[in-house]
Every structure is written in C-alpha cells, then in structure tokens.
Structure 1
C-alpha cells in the first residue's frame, strides 16, 4: 500500500503557534477520507533521525511527502536541527523511480530553491514558497489543500488554487490569486511572485489529476473477508504463548485445518464481550450470510468489534483509577482527571456508542505514569504508549476505525457510499488486524462473574476458607459452567472481575480450584452480570454501563452481545424492592446499586451523603 508521509517540526527558539493544529487537522482529514488506497505515516515531532527512518522504511512506496515548519532556501529545520534539502530529495528517488511519488509539499518559508533538484530527479509536482509566509496562512493553506484533494477529490491544480484563496483571508499581503499559472510549464524562478505559494511542475498532466494514490484493484478483487483478521489474531496468540493456539499451530503442520477451527480457538480464549463480537463478524451465527461478504453490515460489525474492545480496555483503566482512589494511593485527582471522569459518566447512550475510548485510555495512562510505584493490572498496557514509534500503525488503526464507527453507527446517518463499501471493508479489516496484532495478551486475563461467596470454617480448624461460586466469561457462548474458587482470602462479592489466572485444580469432578489468593481487578459496576441476581439462572447476561437518568434514578446498561440494540438495554432502578422469597437476589442487587451510587460519587467528585451500611430500604418503583 502506498504511504503518505506528513511531518511537522516546531522550533524552541521561534515556535509556530499553529503547527500543532495543522498537524491534527491534516491527519484527521487523511484518516477520515481513506478509501483503502493509502496508509499514513505521521511525524508530529519530526527530527532528522525519524525522518531518515521513515524515508528509508517506506523506500519506493511514498506517494506524497508533506513538510510543515521552519525552512530556508536549501534546508528544512527539524526541531531546530537543520536538514539538507538535497539529501531528502535523493531519499525520495526510489519512490520516484517506482512511479509512486506524485507530490512533495514544502510548507515552510522560502523553500522555492529546493524545487529545482526535486524536479530534476523526476518528482511530478512540488508545492513550495518563494518567501516568508504567515504562520496562520500556512496552517490554513495546508489544511484546506488536503481537504480539497481528500474530501472534494479536486485535481492538484484546483486544490492548490482553492487553498491559496482560503489562505488569502488570513493575510493582507497579496498571494497572487489574480496571476494564474501557465498550463504547460511552471518552473521556479521563471516568474517570481512573492510572498506566495507556488505550484511547480514540468508536465501539466501531473497537476490536472488528483495526487492521491489509486485503489489497488487486484487487492480488492482478491479480498476474502476474515482471512487476514483470523491469521493475524491467531499468530498474535501463538507468539504470546497461548497453549491452545500453540497446539493448533503444531497440528496445522501435519494436516489441513479449516478456518473456523482457528476462529473457534480465538473466540474461546478472549474475554466474552470481545469474543461475542468476533463471533458475529466471523459469521459463526446462523443467518449471518450478509457478514460473510463485503457489505455495509460487515463494515458496521468491524467497527463494532473495535468499539466494544476499546470500551472494555477503557473500563479496565477507569477501574484501575478507582482502585487507586479506594486504596488511598491517590488522595485527590487532578482537574483534568476529574473532568475526564465527569464527561465519561454523563455521556448518553448514543454518545457513548461512538465515544473515543482511545483518548480516555491515553489520558488515564498519562496520569498513572506520573504516580510513584504504581503498576498496571494489565501490565501489557505499558507496551501500547502512543509515543513509542512501534505503535504508530496501532494508533493510526484506532483513529481510522473510530472514524468508521462514526460513519456506520446505526443511530447516525450513514456517511458511506455504496460504491465505497468493498474498498472500505478491505481497509477496515486490515486496520482491525493491525489493532488486534497488539492485543494477543488478552488471553492471559480471565473475565469472571462472582455469583456467591460462602464461608467454610470448621471448629477443628483454625483456618477460614472462602468458597467462591464463579462463572468464567471467556468465550463467545451465553451458557457458562459454574466453577468454585477455594481461597484463603475472599474476592469482592456480586461483581465482575478480571483475574490473572494462577490457581491449581483441586477437584475436577466438583470443578474446584484452590489457592491462597487471586490477584484481581473489580470491573463492577461498569460491567455487571445481570443474571447474577437470579438464583436459578445458569447463564450470564453481561452488560456495560450506558448512562444514568437523573429524573427517575435509573442506571441504563447495554448488552455486550447487541450493544446497539435498544431492545437489549437493561435498566437498574436503585429504588427497586424484592419480594419476601427473593432475599438472595435482593442482597446481590443491593450490592450493585451501592456500587453504582459510589461510582457516581467518584466520577462526579461528590461527597457520599449516605454510608453504604446505612442504605435506606429499597422501595417499589
């Protein structure tokens, strides 16, 4: 796939106020308008080293190279480090020779003299400047140019002229709008006009077409849904040491294994909220034929898999933050964390359905990183920091899939044309593969619903044993077998927890495990097993927090199997009362309500008005 490199370099000596905004807007435009024909490499803090690495890594596959920042007649200034323009030009030569490079943009001051070498080497078109340019004008020009070629699909010439007109609004100096460029030839120095941007080329055909790469028709024609995703996730599990995956990997060396066997292995070792969405995407359910081929429904499901997975990871981060507060490791949250939690809690279900959990995860992680001696419960989250160069593709995938979620969410107008669906399905699955390639570690954590805890204490024994009745939520099926954890220390009751499984089997027939203690993170009340309230239920009904309705004191939850279906919403009324024969259900339900109110106080930074042990009797709604 062809690559568009966008690089931005500021200066500590002469900072450019608008460059970060230019960076964010151009990147967003490229991601939102990708139709499967390019990837984006972003350098927000460009240096000589990382630009050299990028130019070398993509070698002959660069389609557009964009630079914004301070510059001169013969150099670009990467964070106050001077880079020779001729050296950059020669590093672009492999992409020129391959016929892939279509455009170089040097959006800095007085870069015109660098154009000559670029054109000599064969770059079809170059945008550069003949003098110093206004910072705000430069931002407007860069953003509007990319908007014109990506959203409006203009030719390079028309996109340039329209961007120049937009930039003119931010400066009193003439940008030469009345002086149209020659159709046949425009070389630097032949017709100086300043201060303004110039569009330089030798052949008019280069600027009378859109510079974006075209879709690879062969790749689209060969696209088979689920193949790339299945292979990527399975490989990630093998590399992370998952035993069932490793056993199947050895078996495939001796016999042919059908794709559904790999998919079943994947679904059996991932937490239920993720596994159930992958099951739907893999079309493992009866009547899901529409998902087995490129379609808008399939595109919706790809985005839904991403959304529920990032929501699950976001809940883990919030739960860890709350745990730090409960255990006294954090006395007072800073203002930005309080606002982040408040915004999260006050989302409506519709807003939450397309909420960017990646930003929430980044925000909480950055705060936790400032705390002394705090380890992540999910330790692998340390490997997903956005500043790590190895995670650039992962970050791009998150941004792209977040856009697809917004564009296809059933509650919003569809922003995708029917003619684009095939290409978008191909790209979205590729991005989802990049996303899951980093998440093979999830098999290490066991999602567990605690149904009940019984105390075992005998007169002849000084030790107390806590017998936990639990259900493991680690596959795509709704039916789960009950297990029993015999522990010297009890876990939290009536909740859904994430554990690092390290217990040994004690009694196979009675499905008992035994150990001193079990390291866990409580995800309730953001994750609730509704059927834990029912003493006669043999299934789990897992839901995620949706919203709180202040007017009737109701918490609304979304079913993880069908999170976008209004009919599957679950309401918990904190004033509900149970009948005389439902005392067991009442105790569990009441425990969840107490936790819900406590989390509300935590998220909104309220002072609890009623201690947990003084809760008033539940009343009939």
Structure 2
C-alpha cells in the first residue's frame, strides 16, 4: 500500500499530519506482521510516486493521495519545498499500467473530473470527490475507511463504513472553514446536502471492490504448534478448570461446591454462570445447554461450529460489556471535567465506534476501544469505578496469556466467517477456544463481587420532621439462570440517597448508604423498566443507522432488533446524542419539541 501526502505552505491543511498518522496506526499491525507492506511519503513529489511504483513493480494494491487537488491535477511538493501540479492525464496512464492496483483513493477536493481519465486508462477503482470538502471531514473519512480495511473489510464495505460515519456525524454539524480545493469545479456542492465522495469502478473490474487485506489462518499455525491434549476432554471441562479457582475467590458458594468430597457438576456450573453479570452470564449459560434426550445431544454438547460460535460470542459479550462500562465512566469523567479532551491519537477509534453499522457490527474490536479508554484514564489519572479494570491491558504485541487468548478467539472467528475451519481440526479448535475463553473470563472474575441491577422505580419515603429516604425497587442482574426463567422478584431496598431511575447500573453500597453508582445507559437498557413492566428485558446497543439506534435482545440475538428513534424511547436516543456530542467536545443542543397548533383565539394570540 502506497500512501502519499502533500501540503501547501501557502494553503496549509492542518489535519493532513493526523490523517497520515492515524491511517498508519490502523495498518501498522499488518505491516509489522509482514502480511502487507505500507510505504508512506510525506511531502510527496512526482518523482517519489514513480520511484516507489518502480521499486514495488506490480505489488501496490492501493494508492492513496491526501492533499490539495483540482479537477485536472493533484498538488504535490517539489524539491525546492514549493509545490507542483501533477497533471492527471500522465499520472493516470502510469497508474493504469500497474496490474496489481485495486484502488486509487484521491482524498482531495474536486477530484471527480479525474475519475473518467483514471478509469479509461485502466485503473480498476477510484474513490474521489465531486466538490469542495472540509479538511476535518476528509481526514475522518480516510481514517474510517482504513480502520475498517484494517479489520479485513472489503474495499466496498470500508467505503460504506466511512460513508455511514460521515452521514451520521455531519448531518447536523456546521462546516469548517478549511477546504481541500484550489479552484472551482462546476458548481461546488454543499457537503450538507449530499456526500461529496464516490466509489467508481471500471467495467469488468467489479471484483476489485471485494479485495481485502491478506490474512493467514492463525488457527492453523496454532494447531500445528500445539501438542495434543493428554486425554480426551469433555465439553466445558477445560473452561471450568481454567476459570473456577479464580472465580472461587469472589464466590463463597462456588468455593463451597469445590470443597465437596464428591463434586456436583450441575451445582458448580450454576455457581460459575451466576457469578458473572448478566450480559456475560447469559451467553456463558448457553455453552452449558443440555438436551433432554441423551440420544439426541444438543449442538452445545458436541464439538461443532455452533459451539465454537457461542464460545466466541461469550468472549465478544465480555469485551462489549467491559467497553460499555468504560464508556459510561468516561462520559461521567467528561461531565465532571469539561476540559478533558480526546486527543488525535485516540479519536479514530471513538469515531469507528460511532460508525458501527449493520454490516461491520460483528467485526468491531471492543478490546481496541477498551485499550484506548484505559490509556486515557491512565494519562489523566482517572480512578476506575471497577478498580480491577486498571489491570486489564490488551496489547497485541505482548505475549501475555490474555492477549494470546484474545488473538486466538478473534482468529477463530475470522476463520469461521471465511469458512476456513477444517472439520478434522474442529474438536481441537473448540478445546483451545474453550481454554482461551477461560483465560478471558478468569481475568474478569472480579466482577462477581460487584452488584449489577436494574433500578425499576424510586419511591420517596418522607414523614413530617424526618429525613427523606428512598426505596429502590430493583432487580439484581447477577443470576443468568434465574433471569432466563419466568419468576423474577423485585427487591425493595431503602437508602438515604438515590440513584438514576429506570436504569441498569453498578451499585456500591454500605449499610443503608449508596457509596457510588455507575449507570450503563444508554449502552445497556432494560426495556421492561422503561415500559413499567414486571421482570427484566435487557437490550445492548449494536449500531446506528441514520437517525435510528438499534439494540440487541440479550437473551436471543436472533430476535428482531429494537429500534430507538424520535418516535420510540426518545430519551434514550437523546442520551446517546448527548454522549456523542460530549466525546467530540461539542455543545449538546436537543431538538425542540414541536408545539401542536391550536385553534382557539386565546392560544393563537398568546
């Protein structure tokens, strides 16, 4: 991949350096693993472009240009630290000769007229603009495109992801003064009225849009280098063995079961599952599913792809839950300290979270988001609500037990998605994935000591000449097997202070005082609390599509998603919009409710 950037000292693009750094940050892991070679040139000259293409003849898959452009040229730099215009006709002929080239990405203003020239000369696909574009918008579009590409999305899906992000963010944001443009190209379109980018493909070259970064199967490498297990293992044995001792430190009931002379496996399973907060425990529970008919075992009782998917889903639910906890606390930290800013090194990961779509939801890396937030907490000396999260460090370059487990599970999922799992290896892969999940769950075993609950309602208890107390009607969310049943008891506890209402939150209490709490809204919501219904029905944020927010039902991911918008649960949508504005450092301006017109003379004259 060849990334070129050229600035103009007389018309400086302030964010071009950020664009280069964050694109490279997304691709560095792949470059380090030698799956790809990334060459970057700052202050690019026309000689640089020809030199690199000759040095890597028929090897360059993507050519990226970031900088000023006009309808017939790209503005490059020259050896005298000035600028020079590269005429597109000559460059197009040269690029068209590169048989390996899948995409030319021209992230400059008004490059639309160059598209036909490039395609006519043999370039397979082009991303270009039809009008002036804002400097920040151009930078963020490129960041999101390459972040998606680094997660093995195709060129087409990466473009769709970047487009979705820009559509969502800039629908209500004012333009920024700096533009990537040197001259008027036709009538400049207003970016507010339509996205200026287009993805163009030559006839017969449609397959180029499905190109992805190359990836080797890490699963196969792991299996070849691993000795066979000493004895045949039953499903879940490795999982229980890996997690039980650490979890028993926080669960007296599990510790009691493990101390029995004759182990009762069903009781041990129950205590393990019930020790975790519901968003994790509910997915873990599914791994222990048993058929009522011994002659027809459930797929979870066998080493099947269905079981492997559920192992990964439990891992993903854990990563998502940790990310939601940290996002919630980051929002509180921003509220308490408005001066806290998200720097350029971290903003691309947050933007990718806001750009999650239906297409890329299953590939989003929640542990990458977790790493960024913990880096922010550490840099600003922010205390963790769950103190143990400070110790969870996910570094792909390290050889830690946790990092290796995460890499194995992510590799297994990629092989599942790409149908690369060999049936002969399935049992071994399932066993290794089970053990890897055990390492992940062992790392978060401390969550067993914290109380997760839905606050359904808060009642003020106040008599004359007495201090007010507050009865919190709530449901504890630490019992997955119980929650899956039909009978759930609401508990009423009286405290001297109060929390948020109709919310899912962590509680720290002492006697009849709430020491502190952390609301997980709007990332996790309890629909029954919002609807004043009995029991509990948890939904987790999945992705945004235009003005709608989509939430997944915790107990069954195959159910239709819950849609939240201005017509349904608007307060939750408003919370999310406020969160996004705060993270971006923008003031939040809620939409004013429309007052219906009235017909009386009184209301009209008032």
TM-based fold match above 0.5: yes
Q: In the alignment, does 2:296 pair up with 1:302?
A: no
Secondary structure of the equivalent of 1:376? coil
Once the two structures are superposed, residues 511-544 of structure 1 have per-residue CA deviations (whole angstroms, 9 ceiling, x without a partner) of xxxx122421111000011111232x32211111
Q: In the alignment, does 2:416 pair up with 1:380?
A: no
User: Which residue matches 1:279?
Assistant: 285
Contact 2:326-2:370 at 8 Å conserved across structures: yes
Secondary structure of the equivalent of 1:451? strand
Instruction: Select between 280-289 and 301-310 the one with higher mean Cα deviation.
Output: 280-289
Secondary structure of the equivalent of 1:321? helix
Secondary structure of the equivalent of 2:564? strand
Distance in structure 2 (CA, Å) of the matches to 1:22 and 1:389: 11
Distance in structure 1 (CA, Å) of the matches to 2:221 and 2:526: 52
Once the two structures are superposed, residues 161-213 of structure 1 have per-residue CA deviations (whole angstroms, 9 ceiling, x without a partner) of xxxxxxxxxxxxxxxxxxxxxxxxxxxxxxxxxxxxxxxxxxxxxxxxx9998
Distance 1:384 1:533, change over 3 A: closer
In the TM superposition, residue 323 of structure 1 has moved relative to its aligned partner by: 0.9
Distance in structure 2 (CA, Å) of the matches to 1:539 and 1:301: 26
Distance 1:608 1:21, change over 3 A: closer
User: Which residue matches 2:478?
Assistant: 474
Which of 266, 270, 277 lines up with 1:264 in the alignment?
270
Distance in structure 1 (CA, Å) of the matches to 2:373 and 2:255: 34
User: Which residue matches 1:493?
Assistant: 501
Distance in structure 1 (CA, Å) of the matches to 2:462 and 2:498: 13
Distance in structure 1 (CA, Å) of the matches to 2:437 and 2:582: 33
Distance 1:353 1:393, change over 3 A: same
User: Which residue matches 2:11?
Assistant: none
In the TM superposition, residue 447 of structure 1 has moved relative to its aligned partner by: 1.6
In the TM superposition, residue 369 of structure 1 has moved relative to its aligned partner by: 0.5
User: Which residue matches 1:521?
Assistant: 518
Instruction: Select between 427-436 and 289-298 the one with higher mean Cα deviation.
Output: 427-436
Distance in structure 2 (CA, Å) of the matches to 1:391 and 1:484: 47
Which of 217, 234, 253 lines up with 2:244 in the alignment?
234
In the TM superposition, residue 216 of structure 1 has moved relative to its aligned partner by: 6.2
Q: In the alignment, does 2:554 pair up with 1:560?
A: yes
Distance in structure 2 (CA, Å) of the matches to 1:380 and 1:284: 34
Distance 1:342 1:22, change over 3 A: closer
Secondary structure of the equivalent of 1:471? strand
Contact 2:456-2:501 at 8 Å conserved across structures: yes
Secondary structure of the equivalent of 1:521? strand
In the TM superposition, residue 609 of structure 1 has moved relative to its aligned partner by: 2.0
Once the two structures are superposed, residues 67-102 of structure 1 have per-residue CA deviations (whole angstroms, 9 ceiling, x without a partner) of xxxxxxxxxxxxxxxxxxxxxxxxxxxxxxxxxxxx
User: Which residue matches 1:62?
Assistant: none
Contact 1:304-1:405 at 8 Å conserved across structures: no
User: Which residue matches 1:512?
Assistant: none
Distance 1:545 1:388, change over 3 A: closer
Q: In the alignment, does 2:587 pair up with 1:607?
A: yes
Contact 1:220-1:422 at 8 Å conserved across structures: no
Distance in structure 2 (CA, Å) of the matches to 1:593 and 1:21: 33
Q: In the alignment, does 2:432 pair up with 1:427?
A: yes
User: Which residue matches 1:444?
Assistant: 449
User: Which residue matches 1:366?
Assistant: 375
Q: Where do 1:177-256 residues align within 5 Å?
A: 214=224, 218-219=228-229, 222-238=232-248, 240-250=249-259, 252=260, 255-256=261-262
Distance in structure 1 (CA, Å) of the matches to 2:371 and 2:313: 20
Q: TM-score normalized by structure 2?
A: 0.58
Which of 346, 353, 356 lines up with 2:362 in the alignment?
353
In the TM superposition, residue 271 of structure 1 has moved relative to its aligned partner by: 0.5
Distance 1:442 1:273, change over 3 A: same
Contact 1:320-1:521 at 8 Å conserved across structures: yes
Distance 1:404 1:286, change over 3 A: farther
Contact 2:277-2:448 at 8 Å conserved across structures: yes
Contact 1:307-1:402 at 8 Å conserved across structures: no
Unaligned runs of 5+ in 2: 1-23, 36-219, 597-606
Contact 1:338-1:603 at 8 Å conserved across structures: no
Distance in structure 1 (CA, Å) of the matches to 2:393 and 2:221: 33
In the TM superposition, residue 568 of structure 1 has moved relative to its aligned partner by: 3.4
In the TM superposition, residue 318 of structure 1 has moved relative to its aligned partner by: 0.9
Distance in structure 2 (CA, Å) of the matches to 1:345 and 1:211: 34
Contact 1:450-1:469 at 8 Å conserved across structures: yes
Once the two structures are superposed, residues 440-467 of structure 1 have per-residue CA deviations (whole angstroms, 9 ceiling, x without a partner) of 1010122211111122221131x11122
How many residues align structurally?
382
User: Which residue matches 1:596?
Assistant: 576
Distance in structure 1 (CA, Å) of the matches to 2:350 and 2:29: 27
Secondary structure of the equivalent of 2:400? helix
Distance 1:451 1:22, change over 3 A: closer
Secondary structure of the equivalent of 2:229? helix
Once the two structures are superposed, residues 296-350 of structure 1 have per-residue CA deviations (whole angstroms, 9 ceiling, x without a partner) of 1111111111001110001111111111011226533223343322210220134
Distance in structure 2 (CA, Å) of the matches to 1:617 and 1:258: 64
Q: In the alignment, does 2:406 pair up with 1:398?
A: yes
Contact 1:342-1:603 at 8 Å conserved across structures: no
Q: RMSD across aligned C-alpha pairs, in angstroms?
A: 3.2
Distance 1:616 1:377, change over 3 A: farther
User: Which residue matches 2:340?
Assistant: 331
Q: TM-score normalized by structure 1?
A: 0.56
Secondary structure of the equivalent of 1:459? coil
Contact 1:220-1:426 at 8 Å conserved across structures: no
Distance in structure 1 (CA, Å) of the matches to 2:354 and 2:435: 32
Unaligned runs of 5+ in 1: 1-17, 30-209, 505-514, 577-588
Contact 2:223-2:428 at 8 Å conserved across structures: no
Secondary structure of the equivalent of 2:323? helix
Instruction: Select between 271-280 and 418-427 the one with higher mean Cα deviation.
Output: 418-427
User: Which residue matches 1:177?
Assistant: none
Secondary structure of the equivalent of 1:455? strand
Q: Where do 1:495-510 residues align within 5 Å?
A: 495-500=503-508, 502-504=509-511
Q: Where do 1:568-583 residues align within 5 Å?
A: 568-576=560-568
